[in-house]
Amino acid sequence: MTATDFDAERAYDDGQFSAVEVFASDRMKAVCGYFEPGQFIPVHAPGSDVAIHVQSGTGLIRDGDDEHRVESGDVVVVEADVDRGVKADDDTRLEAFLVTAPPPTDAEHGPVREGLKRDEFDPRGENS
């Protein structure tokens, strides 16, 4: 059994969001995500479902062409192969628990790396 809490795992990075892996198998990956104000996971569309529970703070979650305003206690699920991204509001930290099944591949995270490198929420150039 894996057990933890947000306080025990908390790790912020001034340069980009921080994802602290809590559990990983070939079927599922669970991370605690820590976002400074304005930080984000760039929009990408891996072949995995994701469930996101907002622990604290406020922000935006992209789900295909829809954008959902989120706050503490909200849960958003995005199906596989659908564009998704997470962005903290500019005035608050965001903490979220993200579960992906199956875990995205390294290749599927290419748009994430590219978006972080270019500091673009949507590296495809849409709604950045």
Tens-digit pLDDT profile for residues 79-88: 999 999 999 9
Strands of the chain, DSSP E: 18-24, 29-35, 40-44, 49-56, 58-63, 66-71, 75-78, 84-88, 94-101
| Confidence category of residue 128, pLDDT binned at 50, 70, 90 | very low
> Which residues fall within 8 angstroms of residue 4, CB to CB, at 6 or more apart?
22, 32
- The DSSP symbol for 26 reads S
Contact 123, 114 (CB under 8 A): yes
Q: Check pLDDT > 70 for residue 116.
A: yes
pTM score: 0.91
User: In the predicted model, what is the mean pLDDT of residues 29-36?
Assistant: 97
User: What 3-state DSSP class applies to 108?
Assistant: helix
* Whole-Å CA distances, 74 to 44, 47, 99, 106, 112: 21, 23, 14, 28, 23
Question: Domain map of the chain by residue range?
Answer: 8-118
State the CATH class of domain 8-118: mainly beta
